[in-house]
Structure 1
Amino acid sequence: MAIKKNNNQVKRTDKNSAYYQKKFWKIFFIGLGSIGLFFLFTSWGLFGAMPSFEDLENPDSNLATEVISADGVVLGKYFQKNRSQLKYSDLPKNLVQALIATEDARFYQHSGIDARGTLRAISSLGTSGGASTLTQQFAKQLLHGEGSKFLPFRIKQKVQEWIVAIRLERQYTKNEIIAMYCNVYDFGNNSVGVSSAAKTYFSKEPKDLTIDESAILVGMFKNSGLYNPIRNPQGVKNRRNVVLSQMEKGNIITEDQKLKLQSLPIKLNFKLETHKEGTATYFREYLRDYMKKWVETNKKPDGSDYDIYKDGLKIYTTIDSRMQLHAEEAVTAHMANLQEEFFNQSKGNKNAPFVNISSAETQRILNQAMKSSSRWAVMKSMEKTDEEIIASFSEKTKMTVFSWKGEKDTIMTPLDSIRYYKHFLQSGLMAMEPQTGNVKAWVGGINYKYFQYDHVGQGARQVGSTFKPFVYATAIEQLNMSPCDSIIDGPFMIRKGRHNVTEDWEPKNSDNRYRGMVTLKRGLANSINTVSAKLMDKVGPEAVVDLAHKLGIKSEIPFQPSIALGAVEITVEDMVAAYSTFANQGVYMKPQFISKIEDKSGVIIYEPIPESHDVLNKDIAYAVIKLLEGVTEGGSGDRLRTTGGGNGDNRWTGYPYQFRNPIAGKTGTTQNQSDGWFMGMVPNLVTGVWVGCEDRSARFKSITYGQGATAALPVWGYFMKLCYADPLLKVSKASFDRPPNLSIKVDCYVPKKVIDTTAVEQDTGEFEL
């Protein structure tokens, strides 16, 4: 009976064993199937959106648009996320080596998922480190950035990463995956991608990164929020040294190199890339406005609109970064110096910076400034009354203000800050190649962060005597005159009714002197008002206005004889284009600041066609050039020349330009010296400079410092000195091209010292740059 019982027990045991085996395999296959279905459903996006095939093909969406100079330097970017795309070949070798050594030593051996690393991580429950490959880390960036800490969600995210990693490995080469990962990683401080990070933290192009700098960026891949060089320098140094140890472990650097590099301090050249700072800020903002209009008429192949903040366009400009920096340096150097003098002269003026205006007019200017301020707009949106808003402008508050010696923290009322900023002299400079119309430098003001009005392309100001060459050119063309022809400098009047004059007009010379018979060359060199007025009377305002418009001036110009003295508001941009026509043998070239635009794939989507038209024949254009050379040889622009002259004449002392090459130019000073101009030309570069305060009532009391020869000409002189010191720029020192068989007499005798030291356009005081 016992044996039978045992047999029954064996049978029941066998049955149980078979049952449990069956149940095990059933659970196993159900589990396996469930896992398979989970992977399948995940890949279909049922548990969260997955990158589409198009997303994987184009993981470089939301790219910053780059503004690139003619010499290949990135001047700035337009972006929502500051990210630029790099090819693998653009990445520094030491950064790639450091990344692989630190994050995924078997990167080139696995197919997206490192099985060995995954098993190790599972067996140690993650205590021996994670198992994410570089491909998985890139997949994480495409999917969700930082992973969830909630286990079920983390499992789902991990599966998603595996699926995307496998897809990436199938579609891209290893090098492409590295490049794309380096392009999408957020390094903080508004820097997405290695390119932006290199410029933000080190002010370098990626190819110029040193080994320790690359190690810092690679260390940030672990957690850019924690290992941020600005907030956590010690933590960044420690992490950098870990990366260097991994590089030594991978035989990329020697132990001696590792120890030497680990001993180095963290050295940054931090420059946050913003729209309000950097190089060519005013030009970039002008270009941004242009591009906003450009996208309205230029569409993508599928008919959709371009987005300059996301589409990763490359805008190749005509700006030369070296010349741009020289221009900015020249403006800064002279304006900081001139501003100091302006503040000194304002000390005794209770109504500073305004001169010779009533208290009512002053209050009108301040009220207008208040209503144009952001404070007024914000408080108005809060439904505050005008009385409440005005009262707030008299309440002292903490603020940071601009000064030429750096930003200053202070306490003042907003109304006082308005008056303070009204003191600042502004400047506009543009340089252009006359033969092509290519704009080479553009400085719209003294500091874009604090003064955002562009005084090159946006602000039109009275041009004073710089308008006179247009009158002379008209006279040479219509009356067959030459620079050597003479005209009487004497009292002159245009009677009421002639040339639409509503009352008798009798222009005076600034010094109330008359010189008798003078040549046209001397008349322009000394900016004699009566000569310009007589020429205007002979040719008529209509002819001068017509020529000015042919020269590209877009401002409305009244048909009045008084325009001969420059009572016309014109932009620096238009003035440079107009003067360039003389240097280009009478052919007008429209200013051009874009050479081409590429999409993110490098396909050219726009190339502008240069616009030009004939204005004057070569002989007339050259005759005007010779007139303008007289200005710098013996007129209001003579301080550009050598000091002394060898005859004991020290009146040029303190003007360190000493140019000996041919220069054509013209100074300009408006009534009450509110605007100072200098237009200067050499054969392959025409540059215009304007200087003045935002309000015309804010100005120097005397003409000594307010005239164009003192306010604007030094900027041109300093700029050209810097350009000539840079031989790569190839700025010409040659003579202007003389037309063959020239039919106009231009070589007339002029005594070297025919300078009227009391004339409005003359040097009437010493001013050292």
Structure 2
Amino acid sequence: MNDYFIRLRHWRKARPKTFYSVAALVGLLVGIVLAVGLLLSLVGFGAFGPMPSRQALLDYRNDVGSEVYDINGESLGRYYAQDRTVTEYDALPDHLIEALVATEDSRFYTHGGVDWEAYGRVAYKTLLLGEDDQGGGSTLSQQLIKNAYGRPSLGYGTSVDLLLHKLREGILANRLENVMPKEEVIKRYLNTVSFPGNTFGIAAASERYFQKEPAELTVRQSASLVASLKGTSSYDPVRAPERNAERTDLVLQLMANAGYLSQEGLQTALTDSLCLNYFRKTSEVRPAPHFAQAVRRQAEKILAEITGPDGEPYNLFADNLKIHTTLDVRVQRHAEAAVRKQMTALQRDFDRHLGRRAAWETDASLWGAVRNSERWRLGRTAGKDSTELVAEFNVPLPMELVVPNAEPLVGEFTPLDSVKHSLAFLRSGFLVLDHGTGAIRAWVGGSDFEFSHYDHVLSRRQTGSTFKPFVYATALRQGYDPCHRLSNSLRTYADEDGPWTPHNSDWVHGGTYSMHGALASSSNVAAVRMIMETGPEPVVDLAREVGMSGEIRPIPSIALGTAESSLYEMTTAFATFANNGRYEKPYYISRIENGDGEVIFEHHAQPTVILEHERAQEMQTMLRYVVERGTASRLRWQYGVTRPSIGKTGTTQNMADGWYLGSTPNLTGGAWVGGENTGVRFRSGQMGNGSHSALPVWAFFLREMEADTSVNHLLGEDFPEISREIRQNLACSAFIPPVQVVEELDSDEVPSETLPVMEVGNEPNGSGDDAG
């Protein structure tokens, strides 16, 4: 045994030292290869980030957002997290593809996803020569993978994370090129990559900078966009024109070096003008912007309950969905025109009416608006107290004050000036739907979206006399006859806040109304009498059945519209009367299709019968009387609208809100007009009532629709003919005035010493002025 160890030591001494060095180096290389193999295996199995399968790579779509369409297939715009539209390969000009390949990946058509020569060049120049800015050596396929799946932090440090991401992207790039042709890689890259101006994809960039489709780009324009890929901020053609021009020339030279441009073509492109035509689309360019906001919110709720092929809910901003809505752009345009026309005239009247007075009646209204402003809220969030914020609101700043449907005011203004400016303008909302189906056809949340994004179709305000039809509908459901008599005399009622004596807006009292006469003349006194007979609770129940939410207290004053509701709810509730007593739940998304054209959501109607047929016809006829001889009669005598209509005006306390709800045989519309808050209002009942402020919106809309032969049939011809029995039920005097001797009063009635003596048929409050 000792001889063995002696021979071994002798053998070791006899070996040359280079042998051990070589052995150590071989061992090190084997270890590195094994480590790299292990690392690649770990990366391939997804230990350092998701490794989608070949099929998943094929199925991957760019985040192109979702397209929204009206009922006729006209686009209303897109929802997107990134402004991107898919452009097919055949629509990409050759010179754009050549500019991209020559600049970003010159061996694109010869490598299999990873350019080892480029990696070697980068390693040599960066590690051995110490040169910077040699590029990362990534191919277009690797960049596509990076754009598609990102580089989330792995927590190992910047350098190690970068190495792992490069390995992952190399493996996936090779896998990608095994499942799709080079042309598809080019297409997906150009539809994914980020361009300047926060645009994503070649279509969005081409439209933003040149107002062109990609196929229409010139050689220099294509080279300019490719040049900007080096740094979307540093090489932006608009913000850094000189730097972009210099790199554009380099791109053109690279195209010539690669044989894509002849010398003549190169010289032409170098001297060509870029012809920038920059235009950033803004929200007001899109039709129905308030409607689009509502669709987005509703679509997100719907999609949250629908699972896609990947097991995750569909993404509105990424999954290339097609959202088909009920909006009719033709009807929408007429609705918007009607709102603009009325609000322009009404604002002029409002300014003239106010004279030198402020639009807000009290300081509380002004400072309430200040505290509701975004500047104030941000200041409070930052920890500033009220004293500090009030001081800031009085410091002049360069500012642009938006004027509805007009050029903005530019200059130095204080934030308080901005709030006062905003308060000085009246607001409006208008909604139109097909009451037979509940489908929304037009949605105008305000007269100018740029002035205010706030949607007055959804804002909640007191409803005024537009609530009275639901009181009388409740009475009909309980078996009351339309000729049931209601006293128009003052009466005091016990209330939880103390004694309460409702009165009519014109202060004319006395006599008796039939139910249909009381509704036509919008008598407050009679409406309260009616709800005292039916009881408030059944009225609240009916309001709930036709979709009114929010707090509706079962107290007598709700008969005068003290409860708050939205134009959306009130219009769709009123549509029940035009729809022969059937309530159709309103909707505005008819169906949603995924990127493969499969329907993943479809609306299904579920009508509810609210009024039996005879009672519905009675109610419909009573509402026709409102238009023919009541508070909405100016629809006829002032605006000349002759088509069969039903309707109801409404005005709230102190003329803060003007309402009108109306229907033709097929369409129901609702209009609201008021200030930003209830302190901004007309000081005169004649100008502030709903028949003066809101009814004209409906009138102008009907006139616009009548004049348009492509849509006037949508209004319908006539309501169903009522039966002889219904006619007999309504055959009574609408109003019977008091005779020379005042009628005997109930013991709890407060007598009036000024009761008018009126002739039969001389109905008070029929001029169109009403207030709840």
Deviations 1:385-410 (A, max 9, x none): 43323332333333322212233233
- Say which is worse superposed, 734-743 or 328-337, in terms of deviation: 734-743
* 1:407 matched residue in structure 2: 408
* 1:688 matched residue in structure 2: 670
Contact 1:429 1:444 (8 Å CA) reproduced: yes
Contact 2:439 2:587 (8 Å CA) reproduced: yes
Distance 1:511 1:742 in 2: 37
Contact 1:463 1:569 (8 Å CA) reproduced: yes
- Say which is worse superposed, 666-675 or 471-480, in terms of deviation: 471-480
Deviation of residue 668 (structure 1)? 1.3
Counting only pairs closer than 5 Å after superposition, residues 297-376 of structure 1 correspond to structure 2 as 308-310=316-318, 313-349=321-357, 352-355=358-361, 362-376=362-376
* 1:451 matched residue in structure 2: 452
Distance 1:279 1:319 in 2: 10
Contact 1:598 1:604 (8 Å CA) reproduced: yes
Secondary structure of the residue aligned to 2:474 is: helix
* 1:53 matched residue in structure 2: 52
Secondary structure of the residue aligned to 2:388 is: helix
Contact 1:501 1:561 (8 Å CA) reproduced: no
Change (3 A) 1:140 1:504: closer
Contact 2:462 2:563 (8 Å CA) reproduced: yes
Deviation of residue 578 (structure 1)? 0.8
* 2:557 matched residue in structure 1: 562
* 2:280 matched residue in structure 1: 270
Deviation of residue 674 (structure 1)? 0.8
Secondary structure of the residue aligned to 1:384 is: coil
Corresponding residue to 1:99 among 88, 96, 99 = 96
Deviations 1:616-650 (A, max 9, x none): 12332233233323333344334444xxxxxxxxx
Contact 1:665 1:678 (8 Å CA) reproduced: yes
- Say which is worse superposed, 432-441 or 628-637, in terms of deviation: 628-637
* 2:191 matched residue in structure 1: 183
Distance 2:620 2:223 in 1: 59
Distance 1:174 1:736 in 2: 63
Distance 2:240 2:340 in 1: 35
Contact 2:331 2:441 (8 Å CA) reproduced: yes
Contact 2:326 2:588 (8 Å CA) reproduced: yes
Change (3 A) 1:237 1:662: farther
Change (3 A) 1:181 1:553: same
Give the structure-1-normalised TM-score: 0.72
Change (3 A) 1:71 1:235: farther
Secondary structure of the residue aligned to 1:388 is: helix
Deviations 1:579-609 (A, max 9, x none): 1111222111111122234455555444344
Counting only pairs closer than 5 Å after superposition, residues 630-669 of structure 1 correspond to structure 2 as 630-641=625-636, 652=638, 655=639, 658-669=640-651
Secondary structure of the residue aligned to 2:669 is: strand
Secondary structure of the residue aligned to 1:679 is: strand
Change (3 A) 1:718 1:508: closer
Distance 1:480 1:64 in 2: 55
Contact 2:99 2:226 (8 Å CA) reproduced: no
Deviation of residue 692 (structure 1)? 0.4
- Matched residue type, 1:524: L
Deviation of residue 745 (structure 1)? 1.3
Distance 1:82 1:591 in 2: 31
Deviations 1:721-748 (A, max 9, x none): 4445555556524334416856411887
RMSD over aligned Cα atoms: 5.4
- Matched residue type, 1:677: W
Change (3 A) 1:487 1:210: farther
Stretches of structure 1 lacking an aligned partner (at least 5 in a row): 1-26, 146-152, 356-361, 642-650, 765-769
Deviation of residue 677 (structure 1)? 0.8
Deviation of residue 72 (structure 1)? 3.6
Change (3 A) 1:52 1:675: same
Deviation of residue 383 (structure 1)? 3.6
Contact 2:650 2:770 (8 Å CA) reproduced: no
Contact 2:433 2:439 (8 Å CA) reproduced: yes
* 1:623 matched residue in structure 2: 618
Contact 1:114 1:132 (8 Å CA) reproduced: yes
Contact 2:436 2:584 (8 Å CA) reproduced: yes
Distance 1:628 1:269 in 2: 50
Change (3 A) 1:527 1:495: closer
Contact 2:113 2:176 (8 Å CA) reproduced: no
Secondary structure of the residue aligned to 1:732 is: helix
Contact 2:85 2:201 (8 Å CA) reproduced: yes
* 2:738 matched residue in structure 1: none
- Matched residue type, 1:353: A
Contact 1:397 1:413 (8 Å CA) reproduced: yes
* 2:435 matched residue in structure 1: 434
Deviations 1:417-461 (A, max 9, x none): 32332222111222222122222222333445553443222x221
Deviation of residue 290 (structure 1)? 4.3
Change (3 A) 1:209 1:305: closer
Secondary structure of the residue aligned to 1:677 is: strand
Deviation of residue 232 (structure 1)? 6.2
Stretches of structure 2 lacking an aligned partner (at least 5 in a row): 1-24, 126-135, 152-160, 735-760
Secondary structure of the residue aligned to 2:346 is: helix
Counting only pairs closer than 5 Å after superposition, residues 175-324 of structure 1 correspond to structure 2 as 176-194=184-202, 196-197=204-205, 200=208, 211-212=216-217, 216=221, 219-223=224-228, 225=232, 228=236, 230-231=238-239, 265-272=275-282, 278-290=286-298, 308-310=316-318, 313-324=321-332
Change (3 A) 1:333 1:264: farther
Contact 1:60 1:184 (8 Å CA) reproduced: no
* 2:420 matched residue in structure 1: 419
* 1:13 matched residue in structure 2: none
- Matched residue type, 2:464: G
- Matched residue type, 1:388: E
Change (3 A) 1:230 1:617: farther
Counting only pairs closer than 5 Å after superposition, residues 581-730 of structure 1 correspond to structure 2 as 581-599=576-594, 602-641=597-636, 652=638, 655=639, 658-724=640-706, 729=711
Deviations 1:161-212 (A, max 9, x none): 87655433321245543442232122332321245446655789xxx77724
Whether 1:492 and 2:493 are equivalent positions in the alignment is no
Change (3 A) 1:509 1:338: closer
Distance 2:467 2:506 in 1: 17
Counting only pairs closer than 5 Å after superposition, residues 455-534 of structure 1 correspond to structure 2 as 455-457=456-458, 459-482=459-482, 485=483, 487=485, 491-496=488-493, 503=499, 505-510=501-506, 512=508, 521-534=516-529
Identical columns (%): 31
- Say which is worse superposed, 286-295 or 417-426, in terms of deviation: 286-295
Change (3 A) 1:164 1:527: same
Deviation of residue 691 (structure 1)? 0.7
Counting only pairs closer than 5 Å after superposition, residues 77-92 of structure 1 correspond to structure 2 as 77-79=78-80, 81-84=81-84, 86=86, 91=88
Contact 1:319 1:439 (8 Å CA) reproduced: yes
Deviation of residue 690 (structure 1)? 0.6
Secondary structure of the residue aligned to 1:580 is: helix
Distance 2:388 2:502 in 1: 51
Deviation of residue 689 (structure 1)? 1.0
* 1:21 matched residue in structure 2: none
Distance 1:320 1:337 in 2: 26
Change (3 A) 1:141 1:544: closer
- Matched residue type, 2:360: F
- Matched residue type, 2:96: L
Q: Number of residue pairs matched? A: 691
